[in-house]
Each structure stands twice: as C-alpha cells, then as structure tokens.
Structure 1
Amino acid sequence: MTAQTANPDKPAPVVDQAALARIGEKVRARLAADPAAYKVPTERAEIYAFGNFLSPAECDRFIAMVDEVAKPSSLFETTYEQGFRTSYSGDVDRADPFVRMIERRIDDLLGMEPDHGETVQGQRYLPGQEFRAHCDWFWTRAKYWPQEAKRGGQRSWTAMAYLNDVEEGGSTDFTRLGIAIQPQRGALLVWNNMLPDGAPNWDTMHAAIPVAKGVKYVITKWYRSRRWG
C-alpha cells in the first residue's frame, strides 16, 4: 500500500480489526516488559527501537544476501519508472538457516506467531534513491486487496533493521509525526501499523529519505493479521 492509492478522505472498510487489536495488545505488553526496548516519544503511534539487534557480522552477511537478490523495487500499483520507490530490493532465501535464525529472533522479540510473518525483504538505496511517504498497511479499496486478503489479511507490525551506517541522508522519516530516525548499523526499528483498536493508523506514514552520500542497506519483515501465504 502506498500513499498514492490510499486516500484519507475516502474511508475504506476496516478488516480483521479484532485480531489486529489482540495482536497489538500482546506485542505492546511484551515490549513494555523488555528493558532493551526504547519507545520513540509520541502518543500517536507505537514505535520502538532496539540498538545492536544484529551483530556486525550478521549485518555483513545480510548485505551480501541483499546484493544477490536486489532488483528494481516494485509496488502494488505503481512502477519503478514512476519514481515513487527507486531502491533495489528482493526477498532473501527463507530456507537459509541464518535467515530462519534471525526471523525467529524477531518473532520472539515481538511475541508474534512465526506463520504470520512475511519473508524478509532486503533493500538497497544508492545516492538519490528513495521511497516516498507511504503506509505499510493495505488500503482495502485498492485493486490488490482481494489477493492480499487471501494471503494473510491486513499487516499488523513492521520490523526493519539497518545493516549499515549511511554517510549522509537516508533517514526514516515519519512524515505526519515530525520524527526522523537516522540509520544505525545493527539497530532494529519496529512499529504497529494499527491503532490500539485495530484500525489502520495514518500516523505511521513514513518515507525513506534519499541517500545523499554512500549506500543504505536494510531488511524488513512484515506481519499479517492471519497466517501468511
């Protein structure tokens, strides 16, 4: 889902709301009890950060994996040529024991059911590349929604790890909150795409600001309201 297809002036049906509220409550309680969790100071969204979630060696290994699978990034309803998302991305091999280990670590951190998680996607941003402001949850009036409804329903939480420090630019900006987070090697950023009642949260709109100097690598894992796939 991107901000190009979602329209706050045209409300879309809210789906899986009770399940999303339950997931949010469960993860919220787990993170509140975790002394390593840093809650980003805002009352309008649930955003947490964890420093040194990945070791330098794990970051390097993921960077090599991203380079192997990276292709021009795609969206549900826009093309690479339209310039909305100009990074390179690709799903890493979920059968790889290393990937499975990291996925289990993220599952355990959030207390999420493993079968609700999508495959880890890697992204690479070169100078000038970006991902404009968007939300990760699906707009249920979009043409792609019937297919996604069958593949696990609405997205609940997002987990994104930074694999390297970026020389200049490349921050993750929550555009409606005025919050900018600079990449930090090994750090994990997680957020609830929903409100506490299970409805989509527009204030999770975020953008990958263009890299000005250097290269930016991240991995992202999304979770669904139901079993994925």
Structure 2
Amino acid sequence: MAFKPSSLIEYALLAIPLYLFAISPLLRIFFPDVASSTTSSYQSFERTDSLIIPDDTLQCPPHSYATHIAHHEPLVIYVENFLSDAEAEHLVALAEKSYQLSTVFTGEAESFDPKIRNSSKALLARDDVVRCIEQRAREFQGWRKDVYIERLWAQKYEAGGHYTYHYDWSGDLSHRSGGRLSTFMVYLSADCEGGGTKFPRLGKPGEGKWCEFVDCEAKDEDGEGEGVVFKPRKGAAVYWENFRPDGRGYEETWHAGLPVKSGTKIGLNIWSWWQPGYSEALNRLETEREAKTSPDEL
C-alpha cells in the first residue's frame, strides 16, 4: 500500500494530544527527575524562612577553636570551644521560654513518639549572637556555593531523654534538588550523666588525648556495635558530612543521642542545606515584586 504524506500529518496530530494528556503525565509520575530535567531548579520555587541568606556585611567578634579529625571518610571533626561559655549560656537562656515537644516525621505525618525521640526543641530568635554563630558555621565549611545554614534549634534532653538511631540525610543528591549536606551537633549544656552522641558504624579515633572527647570505656549495650561515643561537653561540637562526592549518603553517619541517665543535656543543631539556584530565585522574585509594585512609567 502506498504511503500518503497526509497520513503522517494525521498521525502527528493524533500524537500531540496523546503526549500532552497521557504520556507526559505518566512521565512526571514515574520519572519525575527526567520529566523536570529541562526546567530550572527553582521553576516551582517557594521561599522558606528555614534557610538563612548570608549577610556579608555582618561584623562578628573574633573567636578561636581547636579542631580534631576523628574520621576522614566520612569527614567527622571534633571541635573544642566551638562556642564560648558566654555564647552557650546566652543560647540556653534564649531558648528557655520557647520549648515544645520534639516530633518525628513518618512519611507525610508528623507526630510525637517518645520511643523514637524524647526531647523538647526551641527555635532560636536570630539576634546578633545567633547570626554570628550561623556565620561561623558557614565559614567553618569554606563558604560553600549553594549551601545555606538552616534556622538554629536548641534541643533539651532531661532524664530518660534520647533520640534513637537515624540519618540526617535522605535520598541521593543526584536525584534531588536539595539536601542536608552537613551537621553540627553542638553542646550548650552538659550537666548530665549519659547523653553521648553515638556513631555505631565508626571506629574509635584513638586513645590517650581522644579519651577527653570520646567515651573510651563505651560498650555495645544496644546491639548496634561499639562504634564511637562523643561525650557532651559544654561549648564543643561534632561536625560531619552527610553525603559522598557522588551524592550518595554516608551510611556510616547512622547515629543516636544516647539516653540521659540523670541531669539535663541541651544541644544545638546546625544543619547546612544544599539548594542550587536558591539565591538567584530570591533575587528574581524580588525583582518581579518590585516591578509589580512600582508605578507605571509614562
């Protein structure tokens, strides 16, 4: 049978609505990354107050700390004196009236489950002390491109308080538009027994001097492995990277806040979020907003 050019046109006309209303929606469902690969990472952008835009004009007092590399891959660093005593005490006072029960996310639901996480949390108001600590955390990492400090939260653990094993990362960065790149666990107050931060899949960094910072007598009491337990010490911090260079999460960062046996531990979470295009999107939205609110030019 002879081929007619008109047939090709008819097939094309039939194929266009088929793609628009059937194939394309299915691609978005089953292959969301592929379907959106030709669009900018901030096409569906929504501003969030949880990410801090760097302020290069902020002037902070000088501060010094000592770093000790506990593990190279993933990079885990123990930081002595990340906060001064005055800064730690200021944050403890700042958080005191803002505590609420800490929750956990399971799928799309948020709930309080003390078997998983038994603590209270407080979002810290961004006064000058807090803003300078945000800046310090960013400087510590070398002012990484497209990386933003998240709003700071204090965490209070009283007797029996704990946070069971978990990751701070989720998914593969190569398949996501953003992710929690790194973590600081900072100790604001450590008037407690127990309450260490345990990484069961990491080995102890050593003996001797390290025994000031890690529990060299720790045993495998929970069946997760002996690992390494960092002691809570006022003003100190444990910093770690959550993702490999290829975007896969480090399974070795599986960690827990061990139960507080007595007293109170107050910690500070400093998370860094990788979000390409975020600043550009904010600038674009601000430009659009100004254009809409400015009087029409004659």
Superposition TM-score tier, normalisation by shorter sequence:
0.7 to 0.9
Equivalent AA in structure 2 for residue 132 of structure 1: T
Which runs of structure 2 are paired with 1:88-167 in the superposition (5 Å)? 88-94=120-126, 96-113=127-144, 116-139=148-171, 153-167=178-192
Q: How many residues align?
A: 186
Cα displacement (A) at 1:101: 1.2
Seq. identity, %: 31
**Aligned match of 2:20:** none
What SS does the aligned partner of 2:130 have?
A: helix
RMSD: 2.6
**Aligned match of 1:7:** none
**Aligned match of 2:81:** 52
Cα displacement (A) at 1:72: 0.5
In the aligned structure 1, how far is the partner of 2:92 from the partner of 2:259? 19
Maintained 8 Å contact 1:92/1:120? yes
Structure 2 unaligned regions, length at least 5: 1-32, 34-63, 203-226, 283-298
Residues 187 and 127 (structure 1 numbering): CA distance in 2 closer, same or farther, change over 3 Å? same
In the aligned structure 2, how far is the partner of 1:101 from the partner of 1:82? 33
Maintained 8 Å contact 1:66/1:124? no
In the aligned structure 2, how far is the partner of 1:35 from the partner of 1:164? 18
Cα displacement (A) at 1:43: 4.9
In the aligned structure 1, how far is the partner of 2:186 from the partner of 2:234? 8
Structure 1 unaligned regions, length at least 5: 1-12, 14-33, 141-148
**Aligned match of 1:63:** 92
**Aligned match of 1:170:** 195
Cα displacement (A) at 1:182: 0.6
Between structure 1 and structure 2, the one with the greater Rg is 2
Q: Which of structures 1 and 2 has the larger relative contact order (alpha carbons within 8 angstroms, sep 6+)?
A: 1
TM-score when scaled to structure 2? Answer: 0.57
Cα displacement (A) at 1:216: 0.3
Maintained 8 Å contact 2:69/2:77? yes
Maintained 8 Å contact 1:51/1:186? yes
> Which one of the candidate residues 101, 118, 141 is aligned to 1:72?
101
Cα displacement (A) at 1:82: 5.1
Matched, 1:195 2:259: no
TM-score when scaled to structure 1? Answer: 0.73
Equivalent AA in structure 1 for residue 188 of structure 2: L
In the aligned structure 2, how far is the partner of 1:189 from the partner of 1:214? 21
In the aligned structure 2, how far is the partner of 1:194 from the partner of 1:154? 9
In the aligned structure 1, how far is the partner of 2:91 from the partner of 2:243? 28
In the aligned structure 2, how far is the partner of 1:90 from the partner of 1:139? 27
Residues 183 and 116 (structure 1 numbering): CA distance in 2 closer, same or farther, change over 3 Å? same
Maintained 8 Å contact 2:65/2:82? no
Moved over 4 A (4+): none
